[in-house]
Chain A
Amino acid sequence: MSLKQSKFVQLLKANEDRRKSFELAVSMPSGRRMGALRLIDKARSIDPLLTSNLTKWRNATKQFFLTQFNATEERTQQWLDNIVLPSGDRLLFELLDDTGGTIGHAGVCNLNEHSCELDNFIRGESGGDPGLFVAAECTLLHWLFCDLGLETVSLYVFSNNWIPISNHISIGFSISKKHALSRVEKNDMVQHLLDSQEGDPVKYSYLKMTISSADFHSAQRQQLLNDGR
Protein backbone atom coordinates (compact mmCIF):
# COMPACT_ATOMS: atom_id res chain seq x y z
CA MET A 1 0.00 0.00 0.00
CA SER A 2 1.21 3.51 -0.67
CA LEU A 3 2.39 5.66 2.19
CA LYS A 4 -0.26 8.23 1.25
CA GLN A 5 -3.05 5.65 1.40
CA SER A 6 -1.82 4.22 4.69
CA LYS A 7 -1.65 7.70 6.22
CA PHE A 8 -5.18 8.44 4.98
CA VAL A 9 -6.51 5.27 6.60
CA GLN A 10 -4.72 6.01 9.86
CA LEU A 11 -5.89 9.63 9.83
CA LEU A 12 -9.52 8.49 9.54
CA LYS A 13 -9.08 6.10 12.47
CA ALA A 14 -7.21 8.61 14.65
CA ASN A 15 -10.32 10.75 15.08
CA GLU A 16 -11.18 11.27 18.77
CA ASP A 17 -14.37 13.29 18.35
CA ARG A 18 -17.51 11.11 18.25
CA ARG A 19 -19.34 13.76 16.19
CA LYS A 20 -16.73 13.58 13.45
CA SER A 21 -16.45 9.86 12.75
CA PHE A 22 -16.15 9.08 9.03
CA GLU A 23 -19.44 7.85 7.56
CA LEU A 24 -20.66 6.52 4.24
CA ALA A 25 -24.39 7.03 3.71
CA VAL A 26 -26.24 3.92 2.53
CA SER A 27 -29.15 4.83 0.26
CA MET A 28 -31.68 3.20 -2.02
CA PRO A 29 -31.48 3.96 -5.76
CA SER A 30 -34.40 6.36 -5.16
CA GLY A 31 -32.17 8.34 -2.81
CA ARG A 32 -33.99 7.39 0.39
CA ARG A 33 -31.48 6.90 3.19
CA MET A 34 -31.44 3.33 4.54
CA GLY A 35 -28.60 3.70 7.01
CA ALA A 36 -24.89 4.32 7.18
CA LEU A 37 -21.49 2.71 7.51
CA ARG A 38 -19.68 4.47 10.35
CA LEU A 39 -15.97 3.92 10.79
CA ILE A 40 -14.82 2.51 14.10
CA ASP A 41 -12.17 5.05 15.04
CA LYS A 42 -10.43 5.98 18.27
CA ALA A 43 -13.51 7.83 19.51
CA ARG A 44 -15.85 4.89 18.83
CA SER A 45 -13.56 2.08 19.93
CA ILE A 46 -13.90 2.96 23.62
CA ASP A 47 -17.68 2.50 23.57
CA PRO A 48 -18.43 -0.48 25.86
CA LEU A 49 -21.68 -1.19 24.00
CA LEU A 50 -19.74 -1.55 20.76
CA THR A 51 -17.29 -3.99 22.33
CA SER A 52 -20.16 -5.92 23.85
CA ASN A 53 -22.01 -6.11 20.50
CA LEU A 54 -18.91 -7.15 18.54
CA THR A 55 -18.26 -9.92 21.06
CA LYS A 56 -21.86 -11.14 21.03
CA TRP A 57 -22.04 -11.18 17.23
CA ARG A 58 -18.63 -12.88 16.84
CA ASN A 59 -19.78 -15.67 19.14
CA ALA A 60 -23.16 -15.99 17.40
CA THR A 61 -21.51 -16.45 14.00
CA LYS A 62 -18.31 -18.23 14.95
CA GLN A 63 -19.11 -21.29 12.84
CA PHE A 64 -18.33 -19.19 9.76
CA PHE A 65 -14.79 -18.20 10.83
CA LEU A 66 -11.60 -20.14 10.10
CA THR A 67 -10.59 -19.80 13.73
CA GLN A 68 -13.38 -20.46 16.20
CA PHE A 69 -13.07 -19.53 19.85
CA ASN A 70 -15.19 -18.06 22.61
CA ALA A 71 -14.80 -14.32 22.23
CA THR A 72 -14.71 -12.17 25.36
CA GLU A 73 -15.14 -8.41 25.64
CA GLU A 74 -11.54 -8.12 26.86
CA ARG A 75 -10.24 -10.02 23.85
CA THR A 76 -12.40 -7.95 21.47
CA GLN A 77 -11.11 -4.71 22.99
CA GLN A 78 -7.52 -5.94 22.56
CA TRP A 79 -8.27 -6.79 18.91
CA LEU A 80 -9.65 -3.29 18.34
CA ASP A 81 -6.77 -1.56 20.15
CA ASN A 82 -3.90 -3.68 18.85
CA ILE A 83 -4.99 -4.75 15.38
CA VAL A 84 -7.92 -2.79 13.94
CA LEU A 85 -6.96 0.75 14.99
CA PRO A 86 -3.17 0.78 14.41
CA SER A 87 -3.25 -1.05 11.09
CA GLY A 88 -2.78 1.06 7.97
CA ASP A 89 -4.49 -1.50 5.72
CA ARG A 90 -7.60 -2.35 7.72
CA LEU A 91 -10.92 -0.59 8.35
CA LEU A 92 -13.95 -1.68 10.34
CA PHE A 93 -17.36 -0.01 10.02
CA GLU A 94 -20.47 -0.25 12.17
CA LEU A 95 -23.59 -0.72 10.08
CA LEU A 96 -26.39 1.57 11.21
CA ASP A 97 -30.04 1.29 10.22
CA ASP A 98 -32.27 4.25 9.38
CA THR A 99 -32.90 4.97 13.07
CA GLY A 100 -29.17 5.13 13.86
CA GLY A 101 -29.16 1.78 15.66
CA THR A 102 -26.15 -0.49 15.11
CA ILE A 103 -27.22 -3.78 13.53
CA GLY A 104 -23.88 -5.21 12.41
CA HIS A 105 -20.49 -4.43 10.99
CA ALA A 106 -18.43 -4.62 7.82
CA GLY A 107 -14.69 -4.58 7.37
CA VAL A 108 -11.91 -4.12 4.87
CA CYS A 109 -8.45 -5.68 5.21
CA ASN A 110 -5.28 -6.18 3.17
CA LEU A 111 -5.93 -2.83 1.53
CA ASN A 112 -3.30 -1.82 -1.02
CA GLU A 113 -3.17 0.47 -4.05
CA HIS A 114 -4.88 -2.06 -6.30
CA SER A 115 -7.04 -4.34 -4.19
CA CYS A 116 -8.42 -5.27 -0.80
CA GLU A 117 -10.51 -7.92 0.92
CA LEU A 118 -13.90 -7.48 2.51
CA ASP A 119 -14.13 -9.24 5.85
CA ASN A 120 -16.12 -9.31 9.05
CA PHE A 121 -19.46 -8.72 7.34
CA ILE A 122 -21.90 -9.63 10.08
CA ARG A 123 -25.58 -8.82 10.59
CA GLY A 124 -25.95 -9.10 14.33
CA GLU A 125 -29.48 -7.75 14.75
CA SER A 126 -32.67 -7.62 12.76
CA GLY A 127 -33.76 -4.17 11.80
CA GLY A 128 -33.80 -1.68 9.01
CA ASP A 129 -34.55 -2.60 5.43
CA PRO A 130 -34.04 -6.32 4.59
CA GLY A 131 -31.84 -5.15 1.70
CA LEU A 132 -29.67 -2.97 3.94
CA PHE A 133 -26.71 -5.34 3.98
CA VAL A 134 -26.54 -5.65 0.19
CA ALA A 135 -26.92 -1.88 -0.16
CA ALA A 136 -24.16 -1.34 2.42
CA GLU A 137 -21.84 -3.70 0.55
CA CYS A 138 -22.54 -1.80 -2.69
CA THR A 139 -21.85 1.51 -0.92
CA LEU A 140 -18.54 0.22 0.40
CA LEU A 141 -17.54 -1.18 -3.00
CA HIS A 142 -18.44 2.10 -4.68
CA TRP A 143 -16.18 3.94 -2.23
CA LEU A 144 -13.33 1.47 -2.70
CA PHE A 145 -13.52 1.51 -6.51
CA CYS A 146 -14.47 5.12 -7.19
CA ASP A 147 -12.87 7.08 -4.34
CA LEU A 148 -9.84 4.92 -3.51
CA GLY A 149 -9.38 3.78 -7.12
CA LEU A 150 -9.00 0.05 -6.45
CA GLU A 151 -9.15 -2.42 -9.34
CA THR A 152 -10.36 -5.61 -7.62
CA VAL A 153 -11.96 -6.59 -4.32
CA SER A 154 -12.02 -10.13 -2.93
CA LEU A 155 -13.50 -11.90 0.03
CA TYR A 156 -13.47 -15.36 1.56
CA VAL A 157 -16.54 -17.28 2.65
CA PHE A 158 -17.40 -20.82 3.74
CA SER A 159 -19.28 -22.65 0.99
CA ASN A 160 -22.10 -23.56 3.41
CA ASN A 161 -22.68 -19.88 4.24
CA TRP A 162 -25.14 -19.53 1.38
CA ILE A 163 -26.87 -16.30 2.44
CA PRO A 164 -23.86 -14.01 2.02
CA ILE A 165 -22.80 -15.98 -1.07
CA SER A 166 -26.19 -15.18 -2.63
CA ASN A 167 -25.78 -11.53 -1.65
CA HIS A 168 -22.27 -11.31 -3.11
CA ILE A 169 -23.37 -12.97 -6.37
CA SER A 170 -26.30 -10.55 -6.68
CA ILE A 171 -23.76 -7.70 -6.49
CA GLY A 172 -21.52 -9.18 -9.20
CA PHE A 173 -18.93 -11.26 -7.32
CA SER A 174 -17.90 -14.61 -8.77
CA ILE A 175 -16.11 -17.57 -7.23
CA SER A 176 -12.45 -17.39 -8.23
CA LYS A 177 -10.91 -20.10 -6.08
CA LYS A 178 -11.98 -23.02 -3.88
CA HIS A 179 -9.87 -24.37 -1.01
CA ALA A 180 -10.46 -27.73 0.68
CA LEU A 181 -10.76 -27.44 4.46
CA SER A 182 -9.85 -29.65 7.38
CA ARG A 183 -10.63 -29.13 11.02
CA VAL A 184 -8.36 -29.25 14.05
CA GLU A 185 -9.56 -28.87 17.64
CA LYS A 186 -7.08 -27.66 20.22
CA ASN A 187 -7.42 -25.92 23.60
CA ASP A 188 -11.13 -25.02 23.26
CA MET A 189 -10.43 -23.63 19.83
CA VAL A 190 -11.32 -24.93 16.37
CA GLN A 191 -9.02 -24.11 13.51
CA HIS A 192 -9.63 -24.76 9.84
CA LEU A 193 -6.62 -25.56 7.69
CA LEU A 194 -6.57 -24.80 3.96
CA ASP A 195 -5.63 -27.51 1.47
CA SER A 196 -3.86 -29.48 4.19
CA GLN A 197 -3.41 -33.21 4.78
CA GLU A 198 -3.64 -32.59 8.54
CA GLY A 199 -6.84 -32.48 10.58
CA ASP A 200 -10.27 -33.96 9.85
CA PRO A 201 -11.61 -33.15 6.38
CA VAL A 202 -14.96 -31.34 6.28
CA LYS A 203 -17.58 -31.32 3.52
CA TYR A 204 -17.73 -27.54 3.11
CA SER A 205 -14.95 -25.59 1.45
CA TYR A 206 -13.46 -22.11 1.58
CA LEU A 207 -14.32 -19.93 -1.39
CA LYS A 208 -12.52 -16.90 -2.68
CA MET A 209 -14.91 -14.52 -4.42
CA THR A 210 -13.70 -11.62 -6.52
CA ILE A 211 -15.17 -8.61 -8.28
CA SER A 212 -13.43 -6.13 -10.55
CA SER A 213 -14.28 -2.48 -10.81
CA ALA A 214 -15.63 -3.07 -14.34
CA ASP A 215 -17.80 -6.02 -13.20
CA PHE A 216 -19.18 -4.01 -10.29
CA HIS A 217 -20.18 -1.07 -12.46
CA SER A 218 -21.67 -3.36 -15.08
CA ALA A 219 -23.76 -5.17 -12.43
CA GLN A 220 -24.87 -1.83 -10.98
CA ARG A 221 -25.99 -0.58 -14.40
CA GLN A 222 -27.91 -3.81 -14.97
CA GLN A 223 -29.56 -3.48 -11.56
CA LEU A 224 -30.66 0.07 -12.36
CA LEU A 225 -32.14 -1.13 -15.67
CA ASN A 226 -33.98 -3.97 -13.89
CA ASP A 227 -35.31 -1.57 -11.24
CA GLY A 228 -36.53 0.78 -13.96
CA ARG A 229 -38.53 -1.93 -15.72
Chain B
Amino acid sequence: MVGSMTIRQTILHTLKDVAASSQIILVDPLTDETVLLQSGLDSLGFAILVARLEEQLGFDPFTMTDEPVYPRTLGEFITFYELMYQRL
Protein backbone atom coordinates (compact mmCIF):
# COMPACT_ATOMS: atom_id res chain seq x y z
CA MET B 1 0.00 0.00 0.00
CA VAL B 2 1.13 3.52 -0.75
CA GLY B 3 -0.95 5.89 1.34
CA SER B 4 -4.50 4.78 0.59
CA MET B 5 -3.58 3.31 -2.80
CA THR B 6 -2.77 -0.32 -3.54
CA ILE B 7 0.27 -1.30 -5.62
CA ARG B 8 -2.05 -1.83 -8.60
CA GLN B 9 -3.64 1.59 -8.24
CA THR B 10 -0.25 3.25 -7.82
CA ILE B 11 1.10 1.57 -10.98
CA LEU B 12 -1.94 2.44 -13.08
CA HIS B 13 -2.01 6.02 -11.82
CA THR B 14 1.73 6.50 -12.44
CA LEU B 15 1.55 4.85 -15.86
CA LYS B 16 -1.16 7.29 -16.96
CA ASP B 17 0.77 10.18 -15.45
CA VAL B 18 3.98 9.27 -17.32
CA ALA B 19 2.05 8.90 -20.57
CA ALA B 20 0.35 12.25 -20.11
CA SER B 21 3.57 14.08 -19.29
CA SER B 22 5.23 12.56 -22.39
CA GLN B 23 2.14 13.36 -24.49
CA ILE B 24 1.69 9.66 -25.26
CA ILE B 25 -1.75 8.19 -25.91
CA LEU B 26 -2.16 4.81 -24.22
CA VAL B 27 -4.24 2.08 -25.80
CA ASP B 28 -7.85 2.06 -24.68
CA PRO B 29 -8.93 -0.01 -22.84
CA LEU B 30 -5.86 -0.73 -20.75
CA THR B 31 -6.36 -4.20 -19.26
CA ASP B 32 -4.27 -6.88 -17.56
CA GLU B 33 -3.96 -8.56 -20.97
CA THR B 34 -2.49 -5.45 -22.64
CA VAL B 35 0.94 -6.29 -24.04
CA LEU B 36 3.33 -3.73 -22.57
CA LEU B 37 5.21 -3.18 -25.82
CA GLN B 38 1.88 -2.41 -27.50
CA SER B 39 0.51 -0.18 -24.73
CA GLY B 40 1.63 3.03 -26.41
CA LEU B 41 4.49 3.71 -24.00
CA ASP B 42 7.97 3.50 -25.50
CA SER B 43 11.08 2.08 -23.80
CA LEU B 44 12.08 5.46 -22.40
CA GLY B 45 8.57 5.82 -20.98
CA PHE B 46 8.91 2.48 -19.19
CA ALA B 47 12.30 3.50 -17.81
CA ILE B 48 10.70 6.68 -16.42
CA LEU B 49 7.77 4.64 -15.06
CA VAL B 50 10.08 2.28 -13.14
CA ALA B 51 12.08 5.24 -11.75
CA ARG B 52 8.87 7.03 -10.64
CA LEU B 53 7.53 3.86 -9.07
CA GLU B 54 10.78 3.44 -7.17
CA GLU B 55 10.35 6.97 -5.78
CA GLN B 56 6.77 6.25 -4.73
CA LEU B 57 6.99 2.65 -3.58
CA GLY B 58 10.57 2.73 -2.32
CA PHE B 59 11.77 -0.28 -4.30
CA ASP B 60 12.73 -1.40 -7.79
CA PRO B 61 11.69 -5.06 -8.04
CA PHE B 62 13.92 -5.67 -11.05
CA THR B 63 17.04 -5.22 -8.92
CA MET B 64 15.73 -7.55 -6.20
CA THR B 65 16.01 -10.83 -8.02
CA ASP B 66 18.92 -12.67 -9.57
CA GLU B 67 16.68 -14.25 -12.20
CA PRO B 68 15.83 -12.09 -15.21
CA VAL B 69 12.16 -11.10 -15.19
CA TYR B 70 10.55 -9.58 -18.25
CA PRO B 71 6.81 -9.10 -17.87
CA ARG B 72 4.99 -9.27 -21.18
CA THR B 73 1.61 -7.91 -20.16
CA LEU B 74 0.41 -5.19 -17.80
CA GLY B 75 -1.06 -7.88 -15.54
CA GLU B 76 2.31 -9.65 -15.27
CA PHE B 77 4.01 -6.31 -14.53
CA ILE B 78 1.60 -5.51 -11.68
CA THR B 79 1.78 -9.05 -10.27
CA PHE B 80 5.58 -8.87 -10.21
CA TYR B 81 5.50 -5.61 -8.24
CA GLU B 82 2.94 -7.07 -5.82
CA LEU B 83 5.00 -10.21 -5.34
CA MET B 84 8.25 -8.34 -4.68
CA TYR B 85 6.46 -5.91 -2.34
CA GLN B 86 5.52 -8.88 -0.16
CA ARG B 87 9.20 -9.86 0.04
CA LEU B 88 10.32 -6.48 1.41
Chain A residues in contact with chain B, CB under 8 A? 61, 123-126, 128, 130-134, 159-167, 169-170, 175, 178, 203-205, 207
The interface centre, meaning the residue of B40, B44, B60, B69 with most chain A CB atoms within 10 A of its CB, is: B44
B45 interface residue, CB < 8 Å from A? Answer: yes
Count residues of B near A (Cβ-Cβ below 8 Å): 27
Residues of B within 8 A of A170 (CB): 37
Question: A126, B37: Cβ atoms under 8 Å?
Answer: no
B:57-85 near A, CB below 8 Å: 60, 62-72
**How far is B44's CA from A133's CA once the two chains are assembled, in angstroms?**
10
17 A-B pairs within 8 Å (CB atoms) are namely: A123-B44, A126-B22, A126-B23, A130-B40, A130-B41, A131-B38, A132-B42, A133-B42, A133-B43, A159-B66, A163-B43, A164-B43, A165-B70, A166-B71, A167-B37, A203-B65, A207-B68
B7 interface residue, CB < 8 Å from A? Answer: no
**How far is B36's CA from A175's CA once the two chains are assembled, in angstroms?**
20
**How far is B44's CA from A61's CA once the two chains are assembled, in angstroms?**
10
Residues of B within 8 A of A178 (CB): 68
Chain B residues in contact with chain A, CB under 8 A? 22-24, 36-47, 60, 62-72
Question: B42, A162: Cβ atoms under 8 Å?
Answer: no
Residues of A within 8 A of B47 (CB): 61, 163
**How far is B22's CA from A133's CA once the two chains are assembled, in angstroms?**
17
- Tell me whether A124 and B37 are in contact in the complex, defined as CB-CB below 8 angstroms, given that A166-B72, A203-B65 are known contacts: no
